[in-house]
Copies of this chain bind each other. A is one copy, B any other.
Amino acid sequence: MIIVMKPNAPETAVKSVQEAVESKGLETHLSQGKQVTIIGIVGDKNKICNENLQLMPYVDKLVPITESYKLTNKKFHPEPTRVKVGNHVIGPDTLTVMAGPCAVETEDQLMLIAKEVKKAGAQFVRGGAYKPRTSPYSFQGLEEEGLKYMAEAKKEYGLNTICEVINEAAIEASAKYVDMLQIGARNMQNFHLLKEAGKSGMPVLLKRGLAATIDEWLNAAEYIISEGNPNVVLCERGIRTYETATRNTLDLSAVCVVKEKSHLPIIVDPSHATGVYSYVSPLAKASVACGADGLMIEVHNDPEHALSDGPQSLRFSTFNTLMQEMADYIRLAGRTL
C-alpha cells in the first residue's frame, strides 16, 4: 500500500504517518517528489486498519498495491485449478456443459430434460429447487422434492447434478442429493452462505453478483476457500448496466481477466445474461472462443409453459444443434467435452 501526502504536507506530518505505520511493526519507504511525497508500506497490511490512515493530517489518499484475495490469486497459485465433480473434471482440458430447466417443475419434466441434454452431450443437469424471485408472487421452487428428482436424474442418466442453494437448510438438503452447489448472483455477497458452502466441502459454482467487480467476486470465492474448500468454479452471468436491450450485459472480457488474475475455472451462463433464447447460441460459441471452461444453459421441454424464464430457454432441437455446432469451437479451443 502507498500513502500519498498532500502537496503542502510539512515534514512533521510525514513523520507522524510513518510512526503510525511503524508502530504496528511495518516498514515504510519514503519517496519525495517535486509535487508530492509518497510513503510505501512494507509488511503484512492486515496488521493495521489501513483505510483509517487517510484520516491523518495532510494525507491525500491511499493507493492499494496488492490484491486483498490470496487463495484465489494466480500470483501465488499459477497452476490452473481442476475441480472434480462426480465423474467429470472441470478445468483447462474440458469444456463443461451444464444444461437444464431454470426451475425443477415436476419429476416427469426433469427426467425428460435430463435425458435430452445427456443425449446432446451435456455432462451436468442443472435445475433450481429453491428459486430466488424478484416478486413474492412468483413460483418459489419445489425445495427438497426437487432435489430428489435431481438425484433420480443422476441415477438414471449418469449426469452430474447442480442446484442453487439459498440458505443453510438448502445446503444441508443439497448435500444429500446433488454433486455441486450453486451460489446465485443475488447471494454472491451473502457471506454467511459463502462460509457455510465452504464448510460443506462440496464443489461450489459461484455466480458473479449483478453489480460485483471481478475483485469482489474473487474475494467472495476467497470466503469459500478460506473454509478449507478449494473446489470453486466461477460463473459469469451478466452484469447490470444502463443497457436494457438485454436483461443484463454479458461481460466476456471477465473470462480473460479471471484467467489472468486467478487459477479458478470460469464458465459462462448466456441464458441469464441475455434473457433471450435467440442470443444464447451465438454467445455460447463466443464464450468457448474466448477461453471459458464451460457453459450453463437453460433448456426446457416446453418453454411456452415454463414456470420460470421460459423466454430464455432453448428447446431440445436448438440445444442439440448448438452442441453439434459447438464441437468445432471446442476442438479449436483444445478441449474435449
Question: What residues of chain A have their CB less than 8 Å away from a CB belonging to chain B?
Answer: 2, 4, 6-7, 29-36, 38, 40-43, 46, 49, 51-52, 54-56, 63, 65-66, 68-69, 75-76, 132-137, 139, 166-168, 186-187, 189-192, 195, 209-211, 213-216, 219, 222-223, 226, 239-246, 249-257, 260-261, 273-274, 276-279, 282-283, 285-291, 303-311, 325, 328-329, 332
Q: Which of B40, B134, B168, B274 contacts A31 (CB 8 A)?
A: B40
CB-defined contacts of A34 to chain B, threshold 8 Å: 42-43
Structural contact, B256 and A52, CB atoms closer than 8 A? no
Structural contact, B219 and A134, CB atoms closer than 8 A? yes
User: Given A219-B134, A242-B242, do A283 and B253 touch, yes or no (CB 8 Å)?
Assistant: yes
In the complex formed, the residue of B with least CB distance to A305 is B52
Structural contact, B260 and A242, CB atoms closer than 8 A? no
Q: How far is the CA of A213 from the CA of B213 in the complex (A)?
A: 18
Q: Which of B55, B191, B251, B273 contacts A133 (CB 8 A)?
A: B191
CB distance from A227 to the nearest CB of B (A): 9
Structural contact, B282 and A289, CB atoms closer than 8 A? yes
Q: How far is the CA of A303 from the CA of B209 in the complex (A)?
A: 30
Q: How far is the CA of A301 from the CA of B235 in the complex (A)?
A: 37
CB-defined contacts of A32 to chain B, threshold 8 Å: 29, 42
Q: What is the oligomeric copy number?
A: 4
In the complex formed, the residue of B with least CB distance to A75 is B7
CB-defined contacts of A261 to chain B, threshold 8 Å: 245
Structural contact, B223 and A245, CB atoms closer than 8 A? no
Structural contact, A253 and B241, CB atoms closer than 8 A? no
Structural contact, B52 and A304, CB atoms closer than 8 A? yes
CB-defined contacts of A54 to chain B, threshold 8 Å: 311
Q: How far is the CA of A219 from the CA of B240 in the complex (A)?
A: 18
Q: Which of B55, B66, B132 contacts A189 (CB 8 A)?
A: B132
Structural contact, A306 and B49, CB atoms closer than 8 A? yes
CB-defined contacts of A253 to chain B, threshold 8 Å: 245-246, 249-250, 273-274, 279, 283
Structural contact, B132 and A245, CB atoms closer than 8 A? no
Interface centre among A187, A192, A195, A306 (most CB of B within 10 A): A192
CB-defined contacts of A137 to chain B, threshold 8 Å: 46, 68
Q: How far is the CA of A31 from the CA of B282 in the complex (A)?
A: 35
Q: Which of B135, B210, B276, B277 contacts A219 (CB 8 A)?
A: B135
In the complex formed, the residue of B with least CB distance to A132 is B191
Q: Which of B69, B133, B245 contacts A213 (CB 8 A)?
A: B245
Q: How far is the CA of A216 from the CA of B306 in the complex (A)?
A: 22
CB-defined contacts of A255 to chain B, threshold 8 Å: 282
CB-defined contacts of A2 to chain B, threshold 8 Å: 2, 38, 63, 65
A-B contacts, 25 of them at CB < 8 A, read: A7-B75, A29-B29, A33-B41, A38-B40, A40-B40, A49-B139, A49-B308, A52-B311, A56-B304, A69-B135, A134-B216, A134-B219, A166-B190, A186-B190, A213-B244, A215-B245, A245-B261, A249-B249, A250-B252, A253-B274, A256-B274, A282-B289, A282-B290, A286-B287, A289-B289
Structural contact, B241 and A241, CB atoms closer than 8 A? yes
User: Given A190-B187, A252-B252, A256-B278, do A40 and B33 touch, yes or no (CB 8 Å)?
Assistant: yes
Structural contact, A256 and B244, CB atoms closer than 8 A? no
